């Protein structure tokens, strides 16, 4: 009833949480609120400089300025990225997880191999693939040349974004796989035995037993993929640096904030728009995914 005792000692948990809470308010909630406020102003990154409210001007700039076609392209590209990454990454991860879960010989090794890219970090992954995709001496182009084809990979206007998607999936597939594996381990074995007695095929037992029961893992993975994909900019920065038609919304925010002008209003507005997009997608996804989670 009183795990921390009675009297003043009861306050300990509150005190312990006060500090993280303060940090949370200061470094996350505070800046977030200021971002929204700044998105309606013409503030520039010089301390002490006065700023004025300019209404929706920054939002208008995003969609109607001279270069707004590029921003709209970024939004389209973000959606494309999100859909492909979410579907392919989860599909592959689920498949690999189910296979590894069959108690294969050396399943621990496979697990670590698939999980390795996540541990490596974006910079190393980008370096690996930049070397693999070296257009002149790279092994992938040597392989392509067997089919009389060659590519400039991260230097190609038409294909670079596809390669970025590939690298992103390669990198985070192991992460999703691990969550699926954890989900698979929690499925009670007796259900399969009961199914076996009833004469289910393998596909049926996957569809009717495994899939519904790993629904929570599925929900977590899909949400993580959507949010992660919509926020991705690090892999883009490290491979093409936003060139060759590979900018996404998140990259635009970064670019406008740190490499554009000193103005902070437009990038703030961009962040707000990006946030709204993520919010919308997450709400829709949760609605759809919650429905199929089952109790057992």
Partner 1 sequence: MTRKLAGLLALCMLMALLAACGGNGANKPTNGGNTPSTTAPAKDKEQPSGEKKVIKMLGWKQSTNNTVIESINKKFEEKYPEYKVEYVTTAPDDEYKQAYKTRVPAGEVDIFADLSAMRLSPSDWTPGAKVPDWQQFIDNGLIQDLSDQAFIKNYNEADIKDGGTYQDKVYAIPAGKVAMGGLFYNKDIFAKYDLKVPTTWSEFINVNEVLLQNNVTPIAMAGKDKWPVKLAAMNLQAQLLADGNQSEFIEGLWKGTSKFNDPDAIEVLEKMKTIQDKYTINGFMGIDYGTLTSYFTGEKVAMMVNGVWEAGAVQAAKPDMNFGYFPLPATDDPARIKLIGKYDMTWYVTNNGGNTEGAIKWLEFFSQPEIYQEFVQATGFLPVQPNIATTEFLDAEVQPYMNNFEVAYEIKMINRDNIGQHLEAEGIHTEYLAPGGEFKTAKELADVQQKEWEAAAPK
The site for partner 1 (CB under 8 A) is made up of: 10-11, 14-15, 17-19, 21-23, 25-26, 44-49, 61, 65-70, 133-136, 141, 150, 152-158, 241, 243, 258-259, 261-262
φ/ψ of 188, rounded to 5, equals -65, 135
Nearer to partner 1, 30 or 188 (CB): 30
Rounded to the nearest whole angstrom, what is the least distance from the CB of residue 2 to partner 1 in the complex?
A: 11
Q: What's the rounded Cα separation, in Å, for the pair 84 and 90?
A: 10
Rounded to the nearest whole angstrom, what is the least distance from the CB of residue 141 to partner 1 in the complex?
A: 8
Nearer to partner 1, 107 or 241 (CB): 241
Look at residues 219, 248, 217 and name the one whose alpha carbon lies nearest to residue 234.
248
Rounded to the nearest whole angstrom, what is the least distance from the CB of residue 22 to partner 1 in the complex?
A: 4
Rounded to the nearest whole angstrom, what is the least distance from the CB of residue 65 to partner 1 in the complex?
A: 4
Nearer to partner 1, 94 or 238 (CB): 238
Rounded to the nearest whole angstrom, what is the least distance from the CB of residue 35 to partner 1 in the complex?
A: 16
Q: Are 293 and 215 in contact (CB under 8 A)?
A: yes
Rounded to the nearest whole angstrom, what is the least distance from the CB of residue 217 to partner 1 in the complex?
A: 36
Nearer to partner 1, 143 or 157 (CB): 157
Nearer to partner 1, 22 or 116 (CB): 22
Nearer to partner 1, 154 or 180 (CB): 154
């Amino acid at each position: 009833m009183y795990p921390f005792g009675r009297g003043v000692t009861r306050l300990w948990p509150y005190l312990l949480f006060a500090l993280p809470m303060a940090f949370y308010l200061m470094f996350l909630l505070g800046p977030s609120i200021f971002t929204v406020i700044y998105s309606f102003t013409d503030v520039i990154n010089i301390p002490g400089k006065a700023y004025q409210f300019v209404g929706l001007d920054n939002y208008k700039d995003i969609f109607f300025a001279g270069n707004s076609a590029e921003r709209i392209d970024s939004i389209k590209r973000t959606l494309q990225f999100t859909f492909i990454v979410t579907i392919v990454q989860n599909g592959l991860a689920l498949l690999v997880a189910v296979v590894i879960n069959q108690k294969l010989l050396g399943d621990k090794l496979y697990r670590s191999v698939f999980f390795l890219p996540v541990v490596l970090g974006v910079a190393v992954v980008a370096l690996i693939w930049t070397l693999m995709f070296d257009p002149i001496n790279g092994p992938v182009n040597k392989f392509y040349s067997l089919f009389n084809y060659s590519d400039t990979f991260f230097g190609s206007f038409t294909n670079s974004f596809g390669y970025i998607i590939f690298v992103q999936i390669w990198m985070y597939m192991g992460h999703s796989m691990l969550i699926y594996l954890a989900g698979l381990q929690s499925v009670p074995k007796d259900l399969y035995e009961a199914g076996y007695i009833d004469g289910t095929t393998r596909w049926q037992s996957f569809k009717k037993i495994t899939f519904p029961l790993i629904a929570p893992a599925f929900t977590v993975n899909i949400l993580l993929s959507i949010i992660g994909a919509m926020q991705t900019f690090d892999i883009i920065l490290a491979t093409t640096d936003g060139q060759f038609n590979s900018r996404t919304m998140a990259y635009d925010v970064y670019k406008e904030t740190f490499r554009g002008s000193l103005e902070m209003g437009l990038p703030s507005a961009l962040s707000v728009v990006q946030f709204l997009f993520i919010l919308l997608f997450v709400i829709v996804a949760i609605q759809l995914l919650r429905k199929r989670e089952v109790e057992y």
